Amino acid sequence: MEVSIRLKIKTMYNDFSPKEQAIADYILENPEKISHSSISDLATELGIADSTLFQFTKKLGYNGFKDFKMTMLVQGEDFSGITAHENIQNDDTELTMAQKVFDSSISALQDTKKLLRQEDLKTAADLINQSNRLIFFGVGGSEIVATDAYQKFLRSPISVVHSTDYHIQLMEASLLTENDCAIVISHSGRSKEAIILAEVAKEVGAKIIVLTSHSHSPLAKLGDVVLISISEETAFRSEALASRISQLSILDSLLVILMFNNHEEAQTSISKVRHVISSIKENS
């Protein structure tokens, strides 16, 4: 299934120039106008050359403006939901605020689900399954996601590693081998720390799975496979924070795939974990 124009724009937005971001914003805010106007009319309204708009549609992967426009017409329903999760307003009740936060999270999960690709999931699962060690890297908010994934993957038959300290993560990255796999998490894909971790891991030959919201980011270019999460921003909650639920769901999916691919070993490891945890609960 082809990725929609709206999702392409969201995953590429940070890598657009300021002029391209202005075009992208206009498209997202005026989808109906775009699909019923000529390239010259739109270029005039945006104050740009026809060729600039033409090149923007090419950058999104279309043959030109006509191809882009036809796709816009077909995907009209996808754009109709953009305003459904508007930002929280001052006169919203507490319940309305909570509902909008939930709607934003639901939208993020639905959009991320649309971006999942069979070949990417299979490649990522194979890299994990074939590795001697699986290590999770993340800094700041992404470290929380890495920690959550680490404690979940401890139940799998794969040997997993994660440290919360960045300097220790760097040392761990340098000690990886070509038989190991690293999952590097960064919403923006532009975190200097995350990029350095991926570069160190790549230098020693480790396989790299990148989890980010921006498919054309510097970090994404370092991955053997890239898994994309989408987020919806609300008032007082940044996109980086909102992307967390999408990233957690992707990692949960990889865990389920891994466990089903190693059913007997997974049952053994789960039993061991459950046994030791239950013994602590009984004695508390």
Q: How far is CA 145 from the centre of its chain?
A: 12
| Domain segments of the chain as ranges | 5-80, 116-276
Residue in the block written with tokens 């993560």: 169
Strand-pair category, 181-185 with 159-161: unpaired
Which CATH fold topology does 5-80 show? Answer: Arc Repressor Mutant, subunit A (1.10.10)
Residues 147-192 pLDDT 10s: 999 999 999 999 999 999 999 999 999 999 999 999 999 999 999 9
Name the CATH superfamily, with its identifier, for domain 116-276. Answer: Glucose-6-phosphate isomerase like protein; domain 1 (3.40.50.10490)
Burial class (CB in 10 A: 0-12, 13-18, 19+), 251: buried
pLDDT given at position 276: 86
Average pLDDT over residues 102-120: 91
**76 is written with which tokens?**
């009209």
Confidence of residue 277 (pLDDT cuts 50, 70, 90): confident
Burial class (CB in 10 A: 0-12, 13-18, 19+), 262: middle
Residues 41-89 pLDDT 10s: 999 999 999 999 999 999 999 999 999 999 988 887 666 554 444 577 8
**pTM across the whole model:** 0.85
Same topology between domain 5-80 and domain 116-276: no
Q: What's the chain's average pLDDT?
A: 89
Task: Evaluate if residue 12 carries a pLDDT over 50.
Answer: yes
Confidence of residue 233 (pLDDT cuts 50, 70, 90): low
